[in-house]
Amino acid sequence: MSVELEQKLFDAVRAGRVEEVREILEGNPTVDVNWNSSFGWGNLRTACCNSHEAIISLLLAHPAIDVNQKDTFGKTPLFWGCFEGKAASVRLLLQDQRVLLDEPSSNGYTPLRCAALNGHHDVIRCWIASGRDFALGEPGNPKTDAVGAARKNGKVEVAELLERFRDNQEETRAALSNDTAS
């Protein structure tokens, strides 16, 4: 497969051209969906950072997609979605059981810790509502401790939500379900 086609796919993903992405994926079953651009970004990471939900869904459905592909900084699409506060992107990724939740970047930081540090309340709600098991990180560890990162950065609402979840997962998940149902 030519690099031209991979670049065309990447450009369509970055621009959010859903139909063009669909045509490339359907018409070229051997296209490298995990190809990295010259600046080290993969298609799924790019779609997540740009909140292109329909494209994320198309990529997740592709049999060859590497949902945990790391970029040149050792960060996964989930990491970037959490870091940038892209709740819709994170929600889609969390629905895919292949996505590794606690996969650290090359500097050791976890996706949940980065979402908490940056105060991305909606992203934290997605994690809890997903029903998946995940680690809040080792207390006191600056690279993994989500509660500590939120507290240290003054993100009290996020820290309190994570603490409620830590203390009673079922009740917190039920409360979030009730919030979204009304």
- 45-82 pLDDT per residue, tens: 999 999 999 999 999 999 999 999 999 999 999 999 99
**What is the DSSP code string of 99-165?**
S-TT---TTS--HHHHHHHTT-HHHHHHHHHT--------TT-TTT-HHHHHHHTT-HHHHHHHHHH
pTM across the whole model: 0.94
State the distance between the two ends of the chain, measured CA to CA, in whole angstroms.
Answer: 49
Instruction: Pick the closest to residue 165 from 135, 143, 138, 120 (CA basis).
Output: 135
Q: Identical fold at 1-66 and 74-182?
A: yes
Average pLDDT over residues 108-135: 97
What's the angle, vertex CA 71, arms to CA 68 and CA 72, rounded to 5? 150
At residue 3, the pLDDT reads 82
Average pLDDT over residues 135-144: 95
CATH 1.10.3720.10 fits 74-182, yes or no: no
CATH number of the domain located at residue range(s) 1-66 in this protein = 1.25.40.20
How far is it, in rounded angstroms, from Cα 52 to Cα 54? 6
List the chain domain ranges: 1-66, 74-182
Is pLDDT at 178 greater than 80 in this prediction? no
Residue type, 172: T
Q: Which residues of 2-36 are buried (b: 16+ CB within 10 A; e: fewer)?
A: eeebbebbbebbbebebebbeebbeebeebebbbb
At residue 176, the pLDDT reads 87
